[in-house]
Amino acid sequence: MIKNLGKFGLLLFLLAHPAILVAVFVFIFLGIINWHLALLFTGMIAFEAVSIAFLMRIKLNKTIFNLGEMENKIQDLKEDADVLARMQRELIYAGHQIKTLQVDLDALRKINSNGHGNDHSRRTHIPSVSQS
């Protein structure tokens, strides 16, 4: 029943308070209660309505604050994703450079192993990987 009260609480609030106020005035005119008791009932109903409105405003302010915090966190995550994407591109580029250097190093080792250690006139051309 408590779960359903949360769903229908506002509707119950909007229907119950006017019904109680009308009932108080009907009871006065029928002579069931006197004016002092009616004043007490209407005062209690008004105080409850103001208290509920105040509590709803506090809840709304907390929700707005939490939404602002979430918006900031989402913005931070977007910035982090941009930084990570840039770092990934840099790592891929560095990997291509390392691969090119490895090919050059392998070619130099091959030249040295063939006995052409200081022969600068015979140089193999290794195409470099273009940056994309």
Mean pLDDT in residue range 94-123? 79
Which bin fits 128, alpha (ψ -120 to 50), beta or left (φ > 0)? beta
Say whether pLDDT at 130 is over 60. Answer: no
User: Is 129 within a domain?
Assistant: no
Q: Which residue has the tokens 């990934």?
A: 88
User: Is 70 within a domain?
Assistant: yes
Mean pLDDT in residue range 117-121? 51
User: Is 13 within a domain?
Assistant: yes
pLDDT digits (tens, 9 = 90+) for 50-85: 888 888 888 889 999 999 999 999 999 999 999 999
User: Is 25 within a domain?
Assistant: yes
Q: Which residue in 99, 104, 102, 107 sits closest to 130, CA to CA?
A: 99
- The torsion defined by the Cα of 97, 100, 104 and 105, in degrees rounded to 10, comes to 60
User: Is 131 within a domain?
Assistant: no
> In the structure, what pLDDT confidence band is assigned to residue 1 with cuts at 50, 70 and 90?
very low
User: Is 118 within a domain?
Assistant: no
Residues spanned by the domain of 97:
2-113
